Amino acid sequence: AGTGDTGVIYRIKFVSSSSQAINEMEALYNSNNGEITSLALDVGGNLYFGTAGKAGVYRIDPSGTLKTLYEPQLQAVYRLVIEEGNLYAATGDTQRQGIVYRITLSGDESINRVLEAEQTQILGLCVGPKGRLLACTGNGAALYELKLPFNQTGTFESDVFDAKDVA
């Protein structure tokens, strides 16, 4: 569980999967620099979290080691989603556009922009039907749909402008 202003992540252990009684709760991490806005857990037991105040995407591995994956120059990381070996981070800022980043979780952990919205905040992110990444915004209320997986190669065709002289 992530917290607001205190920036603490708690590990909550339940008695059993069928019970809602809390058996044990411990502080796993204290960011000391803003809110914990989102959490995502992969199949390997790595916990990813996003922050606001000082925006960032971080990973805590099963041994408890913290790694900074990305700290964009924005106000907040609002939502994290893991899909097919990639971590998607929805961000926002009151002064700039909302951006969705893709962080490759295997290999070099490369970071790519996959959506630059006209709106300032991308508040929601999920994988919908037919493997589509859905991103919704706050102010300006828009819904974006992106097909996954993204192509690794492509072509771009531009308009031809005649210079009327030999270049």
d(CA 122, CA 137): 4
What are the tens digits of pLDDT across the range 149-158? 666 665 666 6
d(CA 133, CA 47): 21
State the pLDDT at residue 113: 87
Predicted confidence band of residue 128 (pLDDT cuts 50, 70, 90): confident
CA–CA distances in Å: residue 156 to residues 9, 54, 97, 113, 153 = 44, 36, 24, 18, 10
Burial of 167 (0-12, 13-18, 19+ CB in 10 A): exposed
Tokens of 10: 């708690």
